[in-house]
Amino acid sequence: MNPELVLPAALVGVGLGLAVIGGLLRVSRRDESLSDILGLPYGEQDVPVAAITERSAALFEGTAGIVEVANRAVSAFDARGSLSKLLERARLPIRAGEYVIFAICGGLAAAAVLLALTSEWLYAPVGLAVAGFVAVAYPRRRIRKRRKAFEDQLPDAISLIAGSLQAGHTFLRAIQMMCEESEPPLSEEFARVVQETRLGDSLVESLDRMAKRLEIRDLEWIVQAIRIQQSVGGKLADLLYSLGDYIRSKDEIKREVRTLTAEGRASAWMLGALPVVVLLAVQVVNPEYLTPMLQGWGIVWLAGTASSVVLGVTIILKMVKIEI
């Protein structure tokens, strides 16, 4: 690669990265402002509909066509709306088409930066692949993090609901009081249950949808126990206290297992990242050293090595993953 093109390529990569960050921040602020307006009491700081629509149109006038094309492409390849559901579960306030555009821009930025650092066109597809992997893994990581936070809050929330029931409150009112005392994400999910109930849906059905949406087995058991209790009768507060104690005991075992397997997970990520870091470092420090490996059969051996590293990391992570 011509050295004179290194700086422009780096500037292009940085510019695309800043554009992606700016777009995400702008979308996030837009949805936060709209949520704040919708959460105000009726008549307080009313905003004309025309002002909101005109501002939104002006804000996205230059990108509306691209986003619309991206949305149609995503709908064609993802008829079931899996990406939209994934973004909803991850609480990312962005449409599927916008997310795809940001992922493409991030891939181009990563490719430009690697091209500028290594002066080898072979690393540009690597940057695109890494950006694609990050785009796929980021929402799933947010979902796992959100699910973990929900599971940590669930035992105390169940005990709080049981205490409210013993104090004479209804089940729905106990959930409302728990939402007022709890922190996100638990308060957000149960607030959605309360809103669905106010719209005429059954409370148990709303809880069941929340359990399926979050994919938490403990919550599914709780909903099933509530459903059985409503069919056969009994004290719901005592049942919830028992379930809360059981979930706490189970969480203690989970934390102990996670502590014992932490070394294995760290080893997997270290062994997976070490070859990539060494390869990039050698390419930046001494580009001529790896020239034989970047042509002919060298590319095949590098691909085989990358496949073996990925396979090894996957096997190690499977070995240290213990379901309880």
| Structural domain spans, the chain | 1-121, 146-248, 261-324
Indicate the average pLDDT of the chain.
80
Higher-scoring residue by pLDDT: 269, 37 = 269
Residue 263 pLDDT > 80: yes
pLDDT band at 158 (very low <50, low <70, confident <90, very high): very high
Q: Mean pLDDT, to the nearest integer, of 223-239?
A: 87
Distances (CA, A) of 173 to 6, 35, 41, 165, 198: 63, 24, 21, 9, 12
Higher per-residue pLDDT: 70 or 21: 70
Both tokens assigned to 238: 């005592």
Predicted pLDDT at 315: 92
Is omega for the bond preceding 8 within 30 degrees of 0, making it cis? no
Q: In the chain, how many H helices and how many E strands?
A: 13, 0
Question: What is the per-residue pLDDT for 92?
Answer: 83
Percent of the chain with pLDDT over 90: 18
- pLDDT: is 109 or 256 the higher one? 256
Convert the pLDDT of each residue in 17-35 to its tens digit. 666 556 555 655 555 555 5
Q: What is the pLDDT of residue 53?
A: 45
The average pLDDT across 141-151 equals 91
- Provide mean pLDDT across the span 120-133: 80
Predicted local confidence at residue 56, as pLDDT? 45
Q: Which of 121-130, 173-182, 309-318 bottoms out in mean pLDDT, i.e. has the lowest? A: 121-130
pLDDT over threshold 50, residue 161:
yes
Structural tokens at position 140: 């799933």
CATH top-level class for 146-248?
A: mainly alpha
Per-residue pLDDT at 36: 57
Mean pLDDT of the region 248-267: 90
CA 197, CA 203: separation in Å to the nearest integer? Answer: 6
Contact between 169 and 182 (Cβ < 8 Å):
no
Contact in structure between 96 and 86 (CB atoms under 8 Å): no
Contact predicate 175/158, CB 8 Å:
no
Alpha-carbon distance 123 to 116, whole Å? 10
pLDDT computed for residue 154 by the predictor: 92
Q: Is the pLDDT of residue 59 over 80?
A: no
Residue 234: the pLDDT is 80
Q: Contact 178/157 with Cβ under 8 angstroms?
A: yes
The predicted structure's pLDDT at residue 74: 75
Contacts of 161 (CB under 8 A, 6+ apart): 171, 174, 175, 178, 240
The lowest-confidence range among 21-25, 160-164, 235-239 is 21-25
Alpha helix segments (H runs only) across 215-292: 217-232, 236-260, 262-285
pLDDT tens-digit map of 285-296: 887 888 888 777
pLDDT of residue 10: 57
pLDDT, mean of residues 228-247: 88
Decide if pLDDT at 44 tops 60. no
Query: Is pLDDT of 216 > 80?
Result: yes
Residue 58: its pLDDT value, please?
44
pLDDT of residue 81: 78
- For tokens 């994919």, name the residue: 215
- Of the listed ranges 73-77, 219-223, 241-245, the least confidently predicted one is 73-77
